[in-house]
Amino acid sequence: MTQSNKDMQGTFDEASFVQRHKVEAQNMFELLDHILGRHVSFDFALDIGGGYGDHLPFVQDRIGTVIASDIIEYVKDKNFSLKDIAARSEKYGGRFD
């Protein structure tokens, strides 16, 4: 492992992390709008492989109900907190309902 990788290990840039998820959600909707030729919204969506749900705050404006599922049981993770995810996302413009 290089020194720069060692230096990066253990650091967490919250703003970049949230921004990356926000941009990924925006890119998904731009692609869908382009493919379908119109601005689209959905009543329901299933997020397979949704992890901790960090994309959810940035899709809820265009999807009525989203269910996030993952093979890993994140809710058993002692560090998992929906309140923390919601607070972090809302701090950067997301909405977590």
| 6 inside domain | no
The torsion of the CA quartet 31, 25, 23, 56, rounded to 10 degrees, works out to 180
DSSP 43: E
| 5 inside domain | no
Any alpha helices (H) in the chain, and if so which ranges?
3-8, 14-36, 82-91
pLDDT in tens, 38-50: 999 999 999 898 8
Of the two residues 91 and 28, the one the predictor is more confident about is 28
Classify 60 in phi/psi space as left (phi over 0), alpha (psi -120 to 50) or beta.
alpha
Q: Which residues contact 84 (CB under 8 A, 6 or more apart)?
A: none
Of the two residues 66 and 73, the one the predictor is more confident about is 66
| 70 inside domain | yes
| 64 inside domain | yes
Give the number of domains in the chain. 1
Domain that holds residue 80: 14-91
Mean pLDDT of 8-18: 80
Q: What is the pTM of this model?
A: 0.73
DSSP 49: T
- pLDDT of the residue at 7: 52
